[in-house]
Amino acid sequence: MSKKFTLLLIVLMIPIAQGFTQSFMKVSYGDDLFAVGGGARGLGMGGAQVALVNDVTAGFWNPAGLFGITNKQIAYMHSERFGGVVAYDYGAFAMPLRNSEDVIGITFFRQGVDGIKNTLNAWDRDRDQPVSNPEDHITEFSTADMALMLSYATSLTPSISWGTSLKLLYSRLGPFANGFGYSLDLGAMYRHEKFSAGVNIHNITTLMKLWSVNEEELEPLRDYFDDETLNEAFPQGQNEYTPPSMRFGIASWRDFGEFKVTGTLDLLTHFENRRTYNINLGPLSFQPHLGSEISYKNLLFIRVGLTDMYTDRDSKFYASPTLGGGFRVNKIFIDYGFSSFAGMSADLGYTHRISAKISL
């Protein structure tokens, strides 16, 4: 399997080397689709999961965490953000391979806005007023980002596992433009009796995304701009790349009778000099995520966390607290997570997530 993985990595790197000889633009938030994460447990714990995750949601948080799953698992989550404007759906499936401890998984993400009005054909520029019966010329479209992750996990030693997730992305801006992208995540995890450590390198091959624009659909825009501003206003099919990022974490837990207390810390590292982050070392930017969980007999769960820690231009510190809970009935887990936006984004409201996980 390791030889196959090495071959896959080489194949993925070839287009990257070729791509940089073409026109690619660096973007800082090209993988923002994954900022929400997978599963309400992660939200309730401030997004600190890379060293703790050990179920089907590991395909996203840290593919190495899939190792150790002994039966098939299915998870699903739906949430809405920004007052219900943005819909987010997540689903995952994982299973151990037959006659092996290795685990494979598949994960799906969709984030989109539906019902957007397209009024390009409802205005008569010559008369500077709406066309007759404008309702007949107004259509609706959706914009969405989708991703499919194919994951594999195995072990190096009884205490160390590693895993990888191949990510395939598709973005659609109604009838106007669409983009295709791909990248690879690589993770590892060390497990001990009372603590664990994990690391996940996101987009280790660099996230490449190629866009195409349907100029025919955008033709009405030409009526609203003069020749000097048309080139700036008219979208171009610009290819993009997003640099790698890395998430490192540690977790520890203790039993107190029938209760179990868990604490975990993640450190998300970007190589983009994000100045609002509290810790910066040259081009490196670090953002901590904190989480804690109290469980009772592995049946009831209470969670708290901190995320989105940053400093604004006035050196004011902000952080978004998170809360969550869950319960288990036989082989079904139901989890709830809650977070609020902080600082300049406080007016954006709250995020609620409910997810379900089933062991088959």
DSSP string, 24-66: EEE-SSTTGGGGS-SSHHHHHTTT--TTT--STTHHHH-GGGG
Q: Can you give the length of the chain in residues?
A: 360
pLDDT of residue 357: 96
Decide: 50 and 247 in contact? Cβ < 8 Å: yes
Q: The tokens of 32 are what?
A: 């923002």
CA atoms lying within 13 Å on the CB side of residue 26: 5
3-state helix, strand, coil in the chain (%, to 5): 15, 55, 30
C-beta atoms surrounding 29 within 10 Å:
10
Question: Is residue 232 classed as helix, strand or coil in its secondary structure?
Answer: helix
pLDDT at residue 349 in the model: 57
Handedness of CA 276, 280, 283, 285 (dihedral sign): negative
CATH topology of domain 25-359: Porin (2.40.160)
Residue 236: its pLDDT value, please?
A: 60
Domain residue ranges in the chain: 25-359
The answer to whether the beta carbons of residues 123 and 153 sit under 8 Å apart is no
Token duo for residue 38: 């997978």
pLDDT of residue 223: 64
Q: What integer pLDDT is reported at residue 138 of this predicted model?
A: 77
- Residue that has been written with the tokens 């890379």 in this structure: 50
How many other C-beta atoms are found inside a 10 Å radius of the C-beta of residue 27?
16
Using DSSP's 3-state secondary structure scheme, residue 289 falls into strand
What angle (nearest 5°) sits at the alpha carbon of residue 30, between those of residues 78 and 276? 95
Per-residue pLDDT of the chain (360 residues; tens, 9 = 90+): 444 444 444 444 444 444 444 566 776 666 777 877 889 999 899 999 999 999 999 999 999 999 989 999 999 998 877 666 788 899 999 999 988 889 999 999 999 888 787 777 777 766 767 777 777 777 778 889 999 999 999 999 999 999 999 999 999 888 888 889 999 999 999 999 899 999 999 999 888 888 888 777 666 666 666 666 656 555 565 788 888 999 999 999 999 999 999 999 999 888 766 655 556 666 777 889 999 999 999 999 999 999 877 766 666 777 788 999 999 999 999 999 988 754 444 445 567 889 999 998
How many whole angstroms separate alpha carbon 118 and alpha carbon 89? Answer: 25
Q: How far is 104 from 97, CA to CA, in rounded Å?
A: 7
Q: Give the DSSP per-residue string, 101-161.
A: S-EEEEEEEEEEEEEEEE-TTSEETTTTEEPSSGGGG-EEEEEEEEEEEEEEEEESSSSEE
d(CA 45, CA 61): 13
The whole-number pLDDT of residue 154 equals 95
What are the tokens at 347?
A: 């007016």
Residue 273 has a pLDDT of 61
Which pLDDT score, from 0 to 100, does residue 85 have?
78
Alpha carbon dihedral 211, 217, 223, 229, in 10-degree steps, equals 0
Q: What is the pLDDT of residue 221?
A: 66
